[in-house]
């Protein structure tokens, strides 16, 4: 059975390789992130499969933080914390860089950038659908 302690290892290992990995139910192929001990769609309890995501998505929600809570955090204040809805169908948290907060809007296309252990997204000029 799937254990929570190691549940994010494929995701973290993927980030180390410059790849965004998301979990997929082994029974019904519903994407879920973070992985769950029981699929929210079909109820299966098998260990999920993992697949690579393009990292493309849209801003679902965002806020500006003016305080750093961890001493080794990599972004200077103020920084944007966002919920990104990936084209793969899952939502996850990340930071948005390179665009002033005043120019961001819900639904705006974003793309995951790699090179840090954190999820960082930049705005994208791909067409809104």
Write the CB contacts of 115 (distance below 8 Å, at least 6 apart in sequence): 18
- Least confident range of 8-17, 47-56, 57-66, 106-115: 8-17
Cα–Cα dist 77/98, whole Å: 13
Three-state secondary-structure class, residue 117:
coil
pLDDT of 89 higher than 80: yes
Three-state secondary-structure class, residue 72:
coil
pTM for the whole structure: 0.84
Q: Which domains are seen in the chain, by residue range?
A: 9-53 (no CATH), 56-123 (2.40.50)
Q: What is the DSSP string of 38-72?
A: S-TTT---SPPEEEEE--EEEEEEEEEE-S--STT
pLDDT value of residue 83: 98
pLDDT of 8 higher than 90: no
Q: What is the DSSP letter of 103?
A: G
Residue 125, classified by CB atoms within 10 Å of its CB into exposed (0-12), middle (13-18) or buried (19+), is exposed
pLDDT value of residue 117: 66
> Are the C-beta atoms of 11 and 44 separated by less than 8 Å?
no
């Amino acid at each position: 059975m799937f254990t929570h302690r190691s549940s994010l290892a494929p995701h973290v290992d993927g980030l180390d390789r410059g790849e965004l990995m998301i979990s997929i139910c082994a029974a019904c192929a519903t994407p879920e992130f973070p992985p769950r001990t029981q699929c929210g769609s079909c109820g299966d309890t098998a260990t999920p499969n993992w697949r690579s995501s393009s990292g493309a998505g849209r801003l679902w929600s965002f806020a500006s933080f003016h305080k750093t809570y961890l001493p080794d955090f990599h972004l200077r204040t103020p920084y944007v914390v966002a919920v990104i809805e990936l084209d793969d169908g899952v939502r996850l948290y990340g930071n948005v860089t390179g665009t002033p907060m005043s120019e961001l809007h819900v639904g705006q296309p974003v793309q995951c950038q790699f090179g840090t252990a954190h999820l960082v997204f930049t705005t994208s000029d791909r067409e809104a659908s």
